[in-house]
Amino acid sequence: TASPMNIDDKEITTFLPSMDSPDGEQPLLPTRLLLKDALTEPVAPGTASYSPFTGAVIMAGFCGRCLRHLQNAYKANVESEYTYDFWSNHYSIDLAINQTLQSSLKHLNIVPAMDSIEGMADPNTIFLNMNTRATVICLHQAAVVQANKSSLPATLIAESENRTLTAAREIASIMRLIRTSIHLSKLNMFTTWCLYTAARVLVATLQSARSSTDVLDSLQTILSALNAFKMSNPRTELFINQINLELGGSFASPQSASSSPNKCSTSNMLETTAGAFPEPLVPGSVTRNPPMTCEWLDTYDGQE
């Protein structure tokens, strides 16, 4: 998003929640670990593992760093000094994320290719995995922006673009896996931002020479999920509208979509995948399509 990052993780002095033991027993004593330390010094494998909530907090910290990294890439001019600082910071963030995922967060990783849905019923685990992929997208989008500004080899740009596309597809795969294991109204509200981030990558891919049926299927899955999220998270409507604008920029209207596999819009995609994700059950007299107002938010308590 274009929103500035007003909070620096280095300014947060609250200790992270306690860590769980690797075998899933009761949590150990509270850790004296700060967020800024967890982002730079991953816990060694086999020593301790983070709980889903702690993992979600840490990945949110990484996400904040990647968003600042991306915003700086857009704002910066092509200068040799900044280019060095950019790539140094880029590979530092990339290394820290990979080390964390391979150590203290390894037990929480959801592998979309597997049939097992272990951990799928925990909202924090789901959000952690969604945000991990969205963070990777932001990180490598920054690399693409800077590489284009610096006229770096096309192979470097293609590698980062492939990383973003892989992450976007994995987000869609995770949504397919969880559709029967947890109600969408129980998920973290920022899950919709992760879906939106993935959707933008898929839209850009559809508009390129790399377009494929698989990419279109992934986008349909994400749009269907966003549509189902609208009841519990009205902000989702803004994401859907933005995606529709981006689709409308170079894609045909729904009326002509049937004539070409690459012609689409959010409206006919949602019709194609209608019912794929059950809409949240809202208590009281809230209508099926409530207005996006603060008053409506006050009436929704998040219960099924």
Closest CA to 176 of 158, 160, 198, 204: 198
Q: What is the pLDDT of residue 131?
A: 95
Q: Which residues contact 79 (CB under 8 A, 6 or more apart)?
A: none
Q: What is the pLDDT of residue 224?
A: 92
Query: What does the pLDDT average to over 169-193?
Result: 89
Q: What is the pLDDT of residue 198?
A: 96
pLDDT by residue (tens digit) across 220-240? 999 999 999 988 888 899 999
Using a CB cutoff of 8 Å and minimum separation of 24, what contacts does 237-244 make?
Answer: 237/292, 239/192, 239/193, 239/195, 239/196, 239/199, 240/266, 242/196, 243/196, 243/199, 243/200, 243/203
Q: What is the pLDDT of residue 268?
A: 55
Q: What is the pLDDT of residue 199?
A: 96
Beta-strand ranges (E) seen in 140-224 are none
Query: What does the pLDDT average to over 54-75?
Result: 89
Q: What is the pLDDT of residue 260?
A: 43
Q: What is the pLDDT of residue 253?
A: 33
Q: What is the pLDDT of residue 288?
A: 31
Q: What is the pLDDT of residue 26?
A: 52
Closest CA to 169 of 193, 133, 223, 145: 133
What does the mean pLDDT of the chain come to?
A: 75
Considering the chain, what percentage of its residues have pLDDT values greater than 90? Answer: 31
Residue 198, judged by CB atoms within 10 A of its CB (0-12, 13-18, 19+), counts as: buried
